[in-house]
């Protein structure tokens, strides 16, 4: 076997390390959670060329982040990876709370135990798994995708410039880390997923706003022997005088992570905390856990950091005073946009949600489904979410770092342990990742004029899945799992009592010249009818009461080069495994409802079944007419 002909390149020699092409559609800088997810999503589109650039010599081996919110698992299911995550991960089922003993404040005692995630919040649990493993799932996914996308390791971003004209107007300069040589790549779009010290952010002149909190924490992943009884439960531990610990069991049954409170930082010597050693952190942990013992047999990963909450002023390259006249070409995502503490487990999760929001929009523009104006919505939507995250994190970090109140000396302040537990319960939807709510500030989110027709599918929030039975094969499934990371919109039609309005809607979508499916789906044998708008119907009857052969034609679409029939478009309530979806999600049984869901699984609109014109007008706000008489492919 021969390799290194043109110089040493770190990593697996079995992986071909071909140079990036001179020009690509999208260059993604950084293969962390945000960059890997964005590249994985774009890899589903074989006509879109993507370059994933990573400064490290290979894939991450030891992860930093570990908490995976319920919402993130929902998103991973769109890639077919949800079950893989659940098989390997630690499931956070319950959380326990420890505080100083009333009899002896030098000792800790258990004071509370609660369910980690409220019933019905998601069909998936809160998980803990190594960030490196999560990223590897995404890297494997894109390697096996239609694009066969591989990361380019050992290449670091140097700078970029955006030219006024040209098909690939963004000129990116990259440096080979091993050789020191530089090269340029042209792109239509660039996305910086290169962390808190983002060079892409610097290149576009975006500025982080906010402060560092003067408080330090140490984090240790370890294999240890202890008599602490809740070592395999998530635990919030408050000691009287030695600080606090957030204990997170890790996957595999043996490893555990401790976030250890190291106290305040002198603002005049801000970097001094970096000299805190691993053994100092472990000694602090032992004092907090008194009277329990902690024998550390192996440290897997160790770091110290200060808590900081900052949000970048904008998430693309368009200054605020030019938004009306310029279209974005460069974006940032993840830690390049927002930094915060690790205790709420939001960093990696929110970063990947940034990427999921942006990925389908880039694909829509590059494939000619939507005009480039769509890309303005990324900054509007995700900047607001990041600011709300920082506001939450400030309050959460303050509570986690506060000492417990001393009942004998209430004048000293501190946090009552019951207050900590109550706040944990209150913030459960946020930490589960399901509190994101997009306001109707862009064309993608409608006003809630018809929300009463489907009260459980809140406009602007993620589509909350529910159990159903697939009509054609009587298989119990989750309705939300019909969504794939393929850039398609989903239109879920819930039948009215008589079924008449539903059939009229299906006829309109199939046959009317005003149908958004006919208007916005490209013509041609190679394009499936559901590639832009995927229609699904949920009937009120049980699956034994309906006949597949009597379904409207649009629910039995012919697809692919052989014109095969897709039988997976019609569903019925699953009364055996749970409540009726119409009751569970508050669907108006008399009138039925249409629920329009974005490619990133957020509800965009709720409409009456007979609101045909309103449905067409809604999609017309951002999709391009693809009928033969319509305009040609929009330049990206």
Of 460, 526, 194, 426, nearest in space to 332 by CA: 194
pLDDT at residue 270 tops 70: no
Q: At 632, is the pLDDT very low, low, confident or very high (cuts 50, 70, 90)?
A: very low
More confident residue, 172 or 415: 172
pLDDT of residue 10: 58
pLDDT tens digits for range 75-122 = 999 999 999 999 999 999 999 999 999 899 999 999 999 999 999 999
Q: At 630, is the pLDDT very low, low, confident or very high (cuts 50, 70, 90)?
A: very low
- Phi, psi angle pair for 262, to nearest 5°: -105, 5
pLDDT tens digits for range 422-462 = 777 777 888 888 999 999 999 999 999 999 999 999 999 99
Cα separation, 219 vs 446, in Å, equals: 43
Tell me the average pLDDT across 170-181. 96
Extended beta strands in 418-488, E state: 467-470, 475-478
Positive or negative: CA dihedral 414, 416, 419, 421: positive
pLDDT at residue 636 tops 60: no
pLDDT at residue 342 tops 70: no
Of 287, 290, 280, nearest in space to 228 by CA: 290
Cα separation, 209 vs 313, in Å, equals: 7
As a whole-number percent, the residues of the chain with pLDDT over 90 amount to: 76
Tell me the average pLDDT across 170-183. 96
pLDDT at residue 139 tops 60: yes
pLDDT of residue 12: 59
pLDDT tens digits for range 299-310 = 999 998 876 788
Tell me the average pLDDT across 325-332. 97
Average pLDDT, the chain: 91
Among 66-70, 138-142, 393-397, name the most confident range: 138-142
pLDDT at residue 229 tops 80: yes
CA 636 to chain CA centroid, Å, is: 25
Of 290, 332, 64, nearest in space to 190 by CA: 332
More confident residue, 525 or 68: 68
Q: Which of 10-24, 248-262, 456-470, 543-557 has the lowest mean pLDDT?
A: 10-24
Cα separation, 183 vs 76, in Å, equals: 34
The pTM of this model reads 0.92
pLDDT at residue 277 tops 80: yes
pLDDT of residue 30: 97
pLDDT of residue 7: 60
More confident residue, 492 or 346: 492
Radius of gyration (C-alpha) of the chain in whole angstroms: 26
CB neighbourhood size of 182 (10 A): 12
356 vs 41, 167, 487, CA distance in Å? 8, 25, 10
Q: Which domains does the chain have, with CATH numbers?
A: 23-65+127-208+311-389 (3.50.50.60), 90-125+210-305+402-431 (3.30.9.10), 451-620 (3.40.30.20)
pLDDT of residue 14: 54
Q: Which residues make Cβ contacts (< 8 Å) with residue 629, sequence separation at least 6?
A: none
- Helix 417-426 crosses helix 376-401 at what angle (to 10 degrees)? 160
pLDDT of residue 413: 66
Residues 440/447, Cβ–Cβ less than 8 Å: yes
CB neighbourhood size of 284 (10 A): 21
Q: Which helix (H) or strand (E) holds 358?
A: helix 347-366
Spell 74-88 as b/e; 16+ CB within 10 A means b.
Answer: bbbbbbebbebbbee
């Amino acid at each position: 076997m021969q390799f290194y002909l043109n110089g040493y390149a770190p990593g697996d020699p079995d992986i071909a390390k071909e140079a990036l092409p001179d020009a690509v559609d999208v260059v993604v800088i950084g293969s962390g959670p945000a960059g890997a997810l964005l590249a994985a999503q774009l890899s589903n589109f074989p006509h879109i060329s993507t370059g994933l650039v990573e400064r490290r010599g290979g894939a991450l081996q030891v992860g930093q982040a570990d908490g995976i919110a319920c919402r993130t698992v929902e998103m991973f299911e769109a890639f077919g990876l949800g079950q893989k995550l659940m098989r390997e991960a630690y499931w956070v089922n319950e959380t326990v709370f420890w505080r100083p003993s009333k009899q002896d404040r030098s000792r800790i005692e258990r004071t509370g135990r609660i369910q980690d995630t409220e019933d019905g919040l998601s069909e998936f649990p809160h998980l803990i798994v190594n960030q490196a493993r999560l990223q590897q799932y995404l890297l494997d996914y894109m390697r096996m995708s239609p694009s066969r996308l591989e990361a380019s390791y050992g290449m670091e971003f140097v700078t970029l410039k955006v030219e006024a004209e040209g098909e690939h107007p963004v000129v990116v300069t990259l440096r080979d880390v091993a050789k020191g040589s530089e090269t340029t790549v042209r792109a239509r779009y660039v996305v910086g997923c290169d962390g808190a010290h983002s060079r892409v952010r610097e290149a576009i002149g975006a500025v982080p706003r906010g402060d560092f909190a003067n408080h330090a924490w140490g984090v240790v992943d370890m294999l240890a022997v202890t008599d602490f009884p809740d070592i395999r439960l998530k635990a919030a531990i408050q000691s009287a005088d030695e600080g606090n610990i957030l204990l997170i069991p890790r996957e595999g049954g043996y490893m555990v992570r401790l976030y250890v409170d190291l106290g305040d930082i002198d603002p005049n010597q801000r970097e001094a905390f970096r000299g805190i050693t691993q053994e100092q952190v472990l000694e602090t942990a032992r004092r907090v856990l008194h009277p329990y013992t902690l024998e550390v047999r192996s440290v897997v990963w160790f770091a110290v950091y200060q808590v900081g909450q900052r949000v970048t002023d904008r998430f693309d390259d368009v200054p605020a005073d030019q938004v009306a006249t310029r279209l974005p070409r460069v974006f940032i995502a993840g830690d390049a946009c927002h930094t915060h503490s690790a205790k709420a487990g939001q960093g990696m999760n929110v970063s990947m949600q940034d990427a999921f929001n942006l990925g389908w929009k880039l694909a829509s523009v590059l494939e000619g489904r939507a005009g480039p104006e769509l890309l303005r919505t990324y900054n509007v939507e995700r900047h607001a979410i990041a600011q709300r995250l920082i506001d939450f994190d400030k309050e959460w970090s303050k509570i986690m770092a506060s000492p417990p109140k001393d009942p004998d000396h209430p004048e000293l302040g501190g946090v009552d342990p019951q207050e900590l537990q109550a706040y944990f319960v209150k913030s459960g939807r946020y930490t589960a990742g399901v509190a994101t709510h997009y306001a109707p500030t862009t064309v993608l989110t409608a006003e809630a004029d018809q929300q009463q027709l489907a009260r459980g599918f809140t406009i602007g929030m993620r589509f909350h899945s529910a159990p159903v039975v697939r009509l054609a094969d009587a298989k119990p499934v989750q309705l939300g799992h019909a969504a794939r990371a393929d850039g398609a919109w989903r239109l879920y039609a819930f039948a009215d009592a008589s079924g008449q309005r539903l059939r009229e809607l299906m006829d309109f979508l199939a046959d009317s010249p005003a149908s958004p499916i006919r208007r916005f789906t490209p013509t041609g044998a190679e394009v499936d009818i559901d590639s832009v708008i995927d229609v699904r119907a949920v009937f009120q009857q049980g699956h034994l009461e309906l006949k597949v052969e009597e379904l409207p034609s649009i629910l039995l679409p012919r697809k692919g080069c052989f014109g095969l029939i897709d039988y997976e478009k019609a569903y019925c309530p699953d009364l055996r495994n749970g409540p009726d979806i119409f009751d569970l999600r508050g669907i108006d049984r008399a009138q039925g409802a249409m629920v329009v869901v974005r490619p990133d699984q957020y509800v965009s609109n709720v409409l009456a079944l007979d609101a045909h014109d309103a449905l067409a007008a809604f999609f017309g706000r951002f999709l391009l007419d693809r009928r033969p008489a319509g305009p040609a492919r929009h330049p990206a």
